[in-house]
């Protein structure tokens, strides 16, 4: 088992390094941060040279990359090109914002998909099942920015009950989390339904039922517990996609998270901020995948050999 974990860890390190290399290299292919710092107005080549010098952009790529890696190991991500804010400060504010939103979205989605999935499974083939499945597909058929804008129009402009943007009180989580959750729910609901159906057809549930336990108790105590594992796994593996979706939702809701940070960093060619945000996000995704793998390795020894 230790060997398996070690192997996985080494793979994870390799993946994160590869990600940092790809990102650092790609972002330098076009555009010049110096001109973004200068604002593209009254500039001479000499000004640009001065700025490049100050930002350390005159060094060869491998030197810049290695110094980024070096910083990574001591936890120093450097300073933003735009104004010199320490990148670690920016990330320490943005990461919790994104993780909180991700968490809230998952919770909302679970709160929606579990009862719906269970209800659909119990009514398999009858109209509530069909209706739930179709509605979940409808939820999957909107571009998420569109859904977000519509929610703002409804709840902030027409009804005036929710703040249209920002991360302030708990009420500011409702719309962003709902936008994400509607998209997640379509697939999560399906998973719950499928695994519920499987569990329901198993022996011990039949036994439990035949012992005269009430339906609801059977459902929630036995069946649901067993269908939780595939759901959690799936969510773990979907974390990367979840983060991707959050980038757009953050933009519409002006959410001060990693997506906003990275998006601005791309348009400003703010290398330190972009490298750091993507590395941190990749670390999270890899870590969660690793946890899922290890958990599976613990449960099912056959996987370790693959």
Partner 1 sequence: MAAAQASSAPRRFFKSFELVVGLLLTGSMCLSVLFSGFLFPDGGESMDLMARLTPPFTDTAHVLGTDPLGRDVLARVIVGGKISLTVGVLSVLGAVVVGTLVGLVAGYYRGIAEILLMRFADIQLALPFILIAIMFLAILGTGVNKIIFFMIVAQWVQYARLVRGSVLALRDREFILSARAIGVGNGRIIFTHILPNVLGPIVILMTLNVANNILLESSLTFLGLGVDPLIPSWGGMLADGRTYLQTAWWVSVFPGLAIMFTVLGLNLLGDWLRDFLDPTGQTSK
Partner 2 sequence: MKFSTTLKALGLTAAVALSPLMASGAQAAGTLTVAVAIDPGSWDPIDTFLVDWSSAANNIYDGLTARGADMKLKPALATSWEFLDNNARIRFKLRQNVKFHNGEPFNAAAVKFTFDRLLGEEGRKGPQQSNYTSIDRVEVVDDTTVDFIMKQADPVLLTKLAGYGAMIVPPKYIQEKGDAHFNMNPVGTGPYKFAEYSPKVSLTLEAFPEHWGGAPKLDKVVTRFISEANTQVAELQSGRIDVATLIPFGLAPTVEKSPNLSLLSITGPTVVSLRLNTKEGITKDLDVRKALIMGIDRDAIIKAVLLGHGKPIASFQADLSFGHDPNLKPLPFDLAKAKQMLQQAKVPAGAPVRIDFRGNDATFREVVQAAAGYLQALGLKPALQPHEPPVLLNDIIPNGKTGEAWHQSWGGWTFDYDNNAYLMYHSGEKWNPYYNDATLNALLEKQRTIYDVKEREKVLQEIARYVADQALEIPLYNQNTIYGVNKRVKSFDAPADRRFRFTETTVE
Residue ranges in contact with partner 2 by CB under 8 A: 30-32, 35-45, 47, 50-51, 54-55, 80, 82-86, 89-90, 93-94, 149, 152-167, 169-171, 174, 251-254, 256, 260-261, 264, 267-269
Tokens representing residue 181 in the block: 């959750």
Which sign, positive or negative, has the C-alpha torsion 167, 171, 173, 174? Answer: negative
CA dihedral 187, 188, 194, 198 (to 10 degrees): 160
66 or 154: CB nearest partner 2 = 154
State which of positions 155-174 bind partner 1 (CB under 8 A): 157
Angle at 212 (CA atoms; ends 208, 217), nearest 5 degrees = 65
Q: From the list partner 2, partner 1, none, pick the one residue 197 interacts with, judged by a Cβ distance below 5 to 8 Å according to partner type.
A: partner 1
Q: Are 296 and 290 in contact (CB under 8 A)?
A: no
258 or 286: CB nearest partner 2 = 258
Rounded to the nearest whole angstrom, what is the least distance from the CB of residue 218 to partner 2 in the complex?
Answer: 31
240 binds partner 1 (CB under 8 A): yes
Rounded to the nearest whole angstrom, what is the least distance from the CB of residue 6 to partner 1 in the complex?
Answer: 16
Tokens representing residue 301 in the block: 């020894």
Q: How far apart are CA 106 and CA 246, in angstroms?
A: 12
State which of positions 78-117 bind partner 1 (CB under 8 A): none
222 binds partner 1 (CB under 8 A): no
61 binds partner 1 (CB under 8 A): no
* Part in contact with partner 1 (CB under 8 A); list of ranges 84-92, 174-182, 186-194, 214-222: 186-194
Q: From the list partner 1, partner 2, none, pick the one residue 253 interacts with, judged by a Cβ distance below 5 to 8 Å according to partner type.
A: partner 2
Rounded to the nearest whole angstrom, what is the least distance from the CB of residue 264 to partner 2 in the complex?
Answer: 8
Q: Are 43 and 35 in contact (CB under 8 A)?
A: yes
Q: From the list partner 1, partner 2, none, pick the one residue 278 interacts with, judged by a Cβ distance below 5 to 8 Å according to partner type.
A: partner 1
Q: From the list partner 1, partner 2, none, pick the one residue 243 interacts with, judged by a Cβ distance below 5 to 8 Å according to partner type.
A: partner 1
146 or 220: CB nearest partner 2 = 146
Report the interface residues with partner 1, using CB under 8 A.
11, 14-16, 18-19, 22-23, 26-27, 29-31, 124-127, 130, 133-134, 137-138, 140-146, 149, 153, 157, 187, 190-191, 194, 197, 200-201, 240-241, 243-245, 247-248, 251, 259, 262-263, 266-267, 274, 277-278, 281-282, 285-286, 289
């Amino acid at each position: 088992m230790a060997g398996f974990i070690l192997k996985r860890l080494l793979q994870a390190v390799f993946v994160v390094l590869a990600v940092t290399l790809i990102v650092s290299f790609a972002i330098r292919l076009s555009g010049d941060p110096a001109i973004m710092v200068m604002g593209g107005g009254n500039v001479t080549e000499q000004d640009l040279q001065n700025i490049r010098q100050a930002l350390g952009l005159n060094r060869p790529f491998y030197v810049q990359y290695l110094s980024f890696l070096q910083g990574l190991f001591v936890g120093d991500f450097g300073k933003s090109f735009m104004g010199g804010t320490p990148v670690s400060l920016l990330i320490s504010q943005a990461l919790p914002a994104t993780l909180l939103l991700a968490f809230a979205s998952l919770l909302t989605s679970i709160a929606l998909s579990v009862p719906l999935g269970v209800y659909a499974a119990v009514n398999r083939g009858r109209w509530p099942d069909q209706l739930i499945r179709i509605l979940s597909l409808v939820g999957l058929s909107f571009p998420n920015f569109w859904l977000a804008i519509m929610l703002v129009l409804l709840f902030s402009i027409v009804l005036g009950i929710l703040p249209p943007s920002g991360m302030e009180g708990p009420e500011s989580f409702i719309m962003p989390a709902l936008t994400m959750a509607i998209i997640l729910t379509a697939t999560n609901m399906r998973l719950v339904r499928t695994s519920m159906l499987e569990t329901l057809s198993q022996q011990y549930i039949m036994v439990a039922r035949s012992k005269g336990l009430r339906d609801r108790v059977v459902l929630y105590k036995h069946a649901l517990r067993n269908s939780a594992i595939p759901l959690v796994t799936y969510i773990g593996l979907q974390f990367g996609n979840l983060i991707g979706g959050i980038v757009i939702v953050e933009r519409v809701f002006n959410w001060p998270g990693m997506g906003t940070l990275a998006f601005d960093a791309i348009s400003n060619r703010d290398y330190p901020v972009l490298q750091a945000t993507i590395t941190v996000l990749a670390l999270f995704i890899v870590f969660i995948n690793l946890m899922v793998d290890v958990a599976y390795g613990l449960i099912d020894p056959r996987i370790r050999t693959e």
